[in-house]
Amino acid sequence: MLYRLYSRQLVPHRLEELWPFFLRPENLARITPPDMGFVIRSAVPAEMTPGLIIVYTVRPLLRIPVTWVTEITHLQPPAPDRETALFVDEQRFGPYVFWHHRHIFTRQGEETLMEDEVHYLLPLGPLGRLVHPFLVRPRLREIFTYRSRVISELYGAPPAEITLGRV
């Protein structure tokens, strides 16, 4: 079963001010809960580029370390003739059968609407569906709530609206 997480947060800063922070792979650690044990294991450039492979270790559930490999498959930086910038990361190896995460930044005057849309599929068939409401969904909500809190602290934004459900 395919699941969807959606988060939106209006940040009182211009897109061009926010974009550099999110383009730097090392800032992933700043917006990930410390108990996740997030550590980048591969060499990464100062800024993301399409095709970039990032290898890291995380402890998503039960403090068990997992190697996660993602690829930046799309990157559309801000441009004067576009209202939206985005990048997409897709899991190539890791705890999910499928993970597709779009990070969307849309100009809203002097503010920026930040949206995260994640589609994911759990392993283990019926067992994965059984543990989703008790382990996976609450953990993902916790991770994205933490991310929202950090963005609020850094940029003075109100909390994000986060929804999780089936596709």
Residue pair 123/91 in contact by the 8 Å Cβ criterion: no
- What are the boundaries of each domain within the chain? 1-12+40-83+97-112
Q: Does position 56 have pLDDT exceeding 80, yes or no?
A: yes
Q: What is the mean pLDDT of residues 15-21?
A: 96
- Taking the model in full, what pTM does it have? 0.95
Tens-digit pLDDT profile for residues 106-123 = 999 999 999 999 999 999
Helix (H, G, I), strand (E, B) or coil at 49: coil
Mean pLDDT, residues 122-146: 95
Strands 84-93 and 2-11: unpaired
